[in-house]
Structure 1
């Protein structure tokens, strides 16, 4: 903070709230006009008593402009979350070192990590002006998270049984989570924000009409009027929790045709975020537009209400190639997601010469191409084969990783399995480097020992006489995965194994994985840095993310769940260790337990990787300011949101 701004801020702390607003706070010109016209209350009635003061990256910004980004394919609404929708009780600091207050003005953790107390900001309001209070958290906790009527993935921090945690409310601004056992991962899980937004995205006053508990007669009727099956489907749609889809219906939170020919308005569900999704405009491509939240509760050191930028828009691209065209035309303001694709990185200088600057991304990805065989396959013959460690090792030994690195990844990176990166405190050389040297003789010998005899066509046969072949599914927006797998397929042909590729959008892949309907898949690349919070890369403990054994993950959530399969003893041991890790509040003990889990992963060798990530660059147009020169890139740190995107601004 500059000395003048600091002195002014210290002075106004002694004044009443209304006087502070009049003497110190400022707002965008478009909001001032709306106040003058009587369409909005004055600023002092829109801000909480203690708005959150954000530091700026370089300088005090100026108001105006539009931040344009682009989604690619269906299932890409994570881009919205990772840029304008990251507002939780707590958050990561920009450096990803510690958890800091956010919606909650303060928090307190008991010494035994069993009690977490949050103090909310008095006067904080949703984007429609309604107060945000502890009742909103209670609504989320009781009527969404713990409701048997909702079909939501269970958060990793939620103990089993769910009754082992209770919510206590002292007053409208004080909430307390009390666990029956220590929960050392609760606070970072809230900061990472992947667990249904933990009480900051469910406005009770706006959503209760769609919930049967509060509207027993009308909720189903409203759903039927929208052409939906029942109130649950309508509630999930309105609440915006449709598995990350980015089709018009999901984005606007109401049934809409996929192809639009007019402006379609979003259902005005209130938010605490800096911009509010307002409409979908037709065009080539269509674009989703979010407008400034007049009740946003953060300010800069000079007292300006944030955000600086008037609106955010998201172009709905159909392919990675179309996205690259947006960059060439300088339509993108600042973006990391999809810019990290190798095809974009290979032409980075072209974009830098065309008006962009590079933002260094400290990657947390564990592998460039993580190949997950389905170890809980519905076909018992394939399940037995995929579950054989020797078979997986043979597949790994057949791959010429250096050729793939040189051809697909520009020579950057090293042969590597799905494992913590060298920069991670969890780096394990055995896990990372085993079986990465091509050895066709050893691979063929192993398959011979397994009784997989070659046919006259050179393809081996399964024990039941079928050809040894399977389908590998890849994401539609990851053409480099397809290119790498084409080379893997040629290597595997040399040992008598044939594969074919299927391209699917991300939303389809998530559904297929969770229903166990696949042979093999290129899955999540998480876990390279923060192996504790992204443990699903190494142990099947999250139903929504555990790609290599979805029915083991289902069992870990509920052994009685339909189709759940009990894992083998080694995996059960991992699950016990992870449960102990979740219970301990001691960071050193957490690290020790995670290393034990990774040791078992190294022994079991459940997945196959190609190479380590070399690190990437994001792009910011040169008129885009207050963007850090570097930042982490991870799902647990939803890049670039923790860098405080509300303080970005646009100027020549």
Structure 2
């Protein structure tokens, strides 16, 4: 059977990518802080720490950086400066999939078998070998353990069956699927966390797992750590962002727990990337995330020159934008545009909970006419003018504009986005909400008072609570009594996961990546799904749990499966556009504005940071920061 083979040494350019690069002839160099450890006998030589074929990275502009220094980032950024993809995509265009963690792959003719080739000699941050056994441990002991993972992840399932992962040898693994899985590599390039979801440090985590420990040994560890179940113990030890003992393959290793005054990451001495001159990456010794009291404190630290990388929303967004711009010289920072989807991000989009535990509210929230009424009750132009200073366009949640998704089409942007309170009142009357209380607010169909809670994240994005307040006023004008409840991210997600929310306000993406030109929350791939957790559960358990969804939701699940099998990318994009249009036509979620907020916002970047691509692409930033550096005189 013919094979499709990709086994080439790839030079990854941050901003520009060059293929067929060569390993440096002059040997390898390491950071001074690591040379000291080697001299003291605390580390083996650099040649023994790197894999046989490290990934050679050419930074934007071809600059060779210098070692040393620490980069301080805002709380939004920790994952984005430590994540790595299993495979990546080649800029510009992000159409071609290229190696990253794995050095290459082989695909059989019908795309049912994917053989991944690991980097020989690659190591975890503690020096232990990174091998196929780590992938099998994840597959069998984590993903395959019904207690720890009662519902398996859906990204590696197709045709109603999950893929089978097997070990070929220490440096080779194979995925086998029951039918063609044409989009697997694109899927792995979509979210960096998918890389972390395919392997785990078996040598470390086995000591906390019942398959590898006696009941007495495991109980002792649970007691010592104050855990009630082995799953809680294992979950904490698995957390690479909060457990300094947990080995990683990222450029920096976390040194202390979240909640510390400054959470610190130190360079990984076994990191598997080098620059063209053989300098082991990362250039920076440390990355740090200071704890702040919110967006105002973050803004003050940026103005004081204490932060190097801040997403503008963490500093107050457009609310503080004038202050941000006026203080650039004082804080020695610049604004760098960030891109990610060309209008695909919809700020203020919200979901009605169609799985609501209150039958009366569920009856309303599942009514398309009710959702239409909510949509036309909103004065989107006013929201854009007030909250975003005129930047943005009224739109439902839709794909990115321009090729390949062409989300600028009217059928995506204009569906029930007009401001029409009269139509909203007509629709609400039409579904039977004609009775009102003594304050003029509509009663539920059962005659009881109707109060709708608008749950909203309080810190991200900065303008969301203000948008929620405006939604409250618009809905009140058509007789719907609402209250706004801003909550921290963790708290609001807890409410949503418990299916106790009415309306959840956040932002959603309609399309900016290879595999899924839609935010995964638009598809029933996760439990809980923000809008329809019981529908999602029904789909993910093949009808054994949850509630049977309507036919349009079943079609979306079918599309999700069809796109996985589709090898042709144009056909795959057409299928996703169909799925997004189904969401638009059913107003789940309901969009507010696009072309503003997150998608067309900026990073605040200290002027001492070098090798930064402009604009910064949200999709690729995860693999870029190891090439950023600080000039020696500014460290």
Change (3 A) 1:207 1:94: farther
2:37 corresponds in structure 1 to 34
Residues 19-168 of structure 1: pairs in structure 2 closer than 5 A: 23-58=26-61, 59-71=63-75, 79-84=77-82, 86-93=83-90, 95=92, 96-151=94-149, 154-159=152-157, 164-168=162-166
Kindly indicate whether residue 290 of structure 2 is the aligned counterpart of residue 315 of structure 1.
yes
Shift of 1:648: 0.2
Kindly indicate whether residue 375 of structure 2 is the aligned counterpart of residue 371 of structure 1.
no
Partner SS state of residue 370, structure 2: helix
Partner SS state of residue 255, structure 2: strand
Question: Relative to structure 2, which stretch is displaced further, 325-334 or 44-53?
Answer: 325-334
1:649 corresponds in structure 2 to 629
Q: Is the 8 A contact 1:374 1:518 kept in 2?
A: yes
2:311 corresponds in structure 1 to 336
Equivalent in 343, 352, 357 of residue 328 of structure 2: 352
* Aligned mates of 1:386, 1:344 — CA distance in 2: 35
Kindly indicate whether residue 414 of structure 2 is the aligned counterpart of residue 439 of structure 1.
no
1:619 corresponds in structure 2 to 604
Q: Is the 8 A contact 1:536 1:546 kept in 2?
A: no
Which digits, 9 at most, give the CA deviation of each residue in 1:526-558, with x for residues without a partner? Answer: 223348525456744122473111111111111
1:262 corresponds in structure 2 to none
Change (3 A) 1:123 1:344: farther
Equivalent in 387, 392, 396 of residue 417 of structure 1: 396
Question: Relative to structure 2, which stretch is displaced further, 344-353 or 449-458?
Answer: 344-353
Kindly indicate whether residue 362 of structure 2 is the aligned counterpart of residue 395 of structure 1.
no
Q: Is the 8 A contact 1:539 1:574 kept in 2?
A: no
* Aligned mates of 2:326, 2:159 — CA distance in 1: 54
Change (3 A) 1:313 1:200: farther
* Aligned mates of 2:95, 2:515 — CA distance in 1: 14
Shift of 1:470: 0.8
Which digits, 9 at most, give the CA deviation of each residue in 1:105-141, with x for residues without a partner? Answer: 1112233221111111111111111111111111111
* Aligned mates of 2:544, 2:220 — CA distance in 1: 31
Shift of 1:380: 1.1
2:470 corresponds in structure 1 to 487
* Aligned mates of 2:395, 2:520 — CA distance in 1: 14
Kindly indicate whether residue 599 of structure 2 is the aligned counterpart of residue 599 of structure 1.
no
Partner SS state of residue 38, structure 1: coil
Shift of 1:194: 5.4
Moved over 6 A (4+): none
Q: Is the 8 A contact 2:242 2:257 kept in 1?
A: yes
Change (3 A) 1:532 1:50: closer
Partner SS state of residue 391, structure 2: coil
Shift of 1:53: 0.5
Q: Give ranges in structure 2 of 5+ residues lacking alignment.
A: 1-10, 12-17
* Aligned mates of 1:585, 1:550 — CA distance in 2: 30
1:296 corresponds in structure 2 to 271
Q: Is the 8 A contact 2:192 2:622 kept in 1?
A: no
Kindly indicate whether residue 169 of structure 2 is the aligned counterpart of residue 184 of structure 1.
no
* Aligned mates of 2:400, 2:206 — CA distance in 1: 45
2:6 corresponds in structure 1 to none
* Aligned mates of 1:229, 1:118 — CA distance in 2: 38
1:209 corresponds in structure 2 to 207
* Aligned mates of 1:561, 1:536 — CA distance in 2: 26
TM-score, normalised by the number of residues in structure 1: 0.87
Residues 491-530 of structure 1: pairs in structure 2 closer than 5 A: 491-530=474-513
1:275 corresponds in structure 2 to 252
2:242 corresponds in structure 1 to 252
1:326 corresponds in structure 2 to 301
Q: Give ranges in structure 1 of 5+ residues lacking alignment.
A: 14-22, 242-250, 254-265
Query: How many residues end up aligned between the 2 structures?
Result: 600
TM-score, normalised by the number of residues in structure 2: 0.89
Change (3 A) 1:11 1:632: closer
Question: Relative to structure 2, which stretch is displaced further, 587-596 or 101-110?
Answer: 587-596
2:562 corresponds in structure 1 to 580
Q: Is the 8 A contact 2:528 2:537 kept in 1?
A: no
* Aligned mates of 1:481, 1:463 — CA distance in 2: 30
